[in-house]
């Protein structure tokens, strides 16, 4: 049986010279790879007590929804600004070359609910840091954060140091 790392395609010099892009699409397009990824994420959070899975657009949806389904939990999407139809709360965060804004429905997290945030990759940690602030602003509690892949050289965990953070695969460097 292949290891999950065997399903991830690494593309040198993308999007710029010196970068190794970790492509998750090769995990998704292989049934065994996708199954293994979901199982490994679930295994990382199996000991957590939580009510809700949250996933940021779009790859957080891909990995978060099957985990929520398998564990009989609800799923809450976090989307780019202007994509959710009801009243939202929003948070701006830093990108490598600018800023972005994400939103969550104001009624998506009830006070006291425990959430697990699931995404495909942690790089600088800015997106998840913004999600954590929104969850806590709504009265929720972050029980854990889990990624399929982590780029350890970008120190994204540092922004999340007060939370339990797990990743299935760790890559050195950026």
Neighbours of 155 (CB within 10 A): 14
The H helix count followed by the E strand count for the chain is: 4, 9
Neighbours of 146 (CB within 10 A): 25
Q: Which of 22, 59, 103, 150 is catalytic?
A: 59
Q: Look up tokens 């699409």; give the residue.
A: 25
Q: Look up tokens 């009510």; give the residue.
A: 51
The yes-or-no answer on residue 17 being catalytic is no
The candidate with the shortest Cα–Cα distance to 102, out of 129, 120, 121, 75, is 129
CB 48 within 8 A of CB 117: no
Nearby residues of 109 by Cβ (< 8 Å), 6 or more positions away: 52, 54, 76, 115, 135, 138, 139, 140
The yes-or-no answer on residue 96 being catalytic is yes
CB 144 within 8 A of CB 163: yes
Q: Which of 32, 92, 94, 96 is catalytic?
A: 96
Could you list the active site residues?
A: 59, 96
């Amino acid at each position: 049986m292949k290891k999950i790392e065997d399903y991830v395609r690494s593309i040198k010099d993308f999007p710029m010279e010196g970068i190794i892009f970790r492509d998750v699409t090769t995990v998704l397009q292989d049934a065994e790879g996708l199954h293994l990824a979901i199982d490994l994420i679930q295994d990382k959070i199996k000991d957590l007590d939580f009510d809700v899975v949250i996933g940021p657009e779009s790859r957080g949806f891909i990995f978060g929804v099957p985990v929520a389904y398998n564990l009989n939990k609800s799923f809450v999407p976090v989307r780019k600004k202007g994509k959710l139809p009801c009243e939202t709360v929003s948070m701006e965060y830093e990108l490598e070359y600018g800023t972005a804004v994400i939103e969550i429905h104001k009624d998506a997290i009830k006070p006291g609910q425990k959430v697990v945030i699931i995404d495909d990759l942690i790089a600088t940690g800015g997106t998840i840091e913004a999600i954590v602030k929104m969850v806590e602003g709504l009265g929720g509690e972050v029980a854990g954060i889990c990624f399929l892949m982590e780029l350890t050289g970008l120190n994204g965990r540092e922004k999340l140091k007060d939370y339990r953070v797990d990743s299935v695969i760790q890559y050195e460097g950026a």
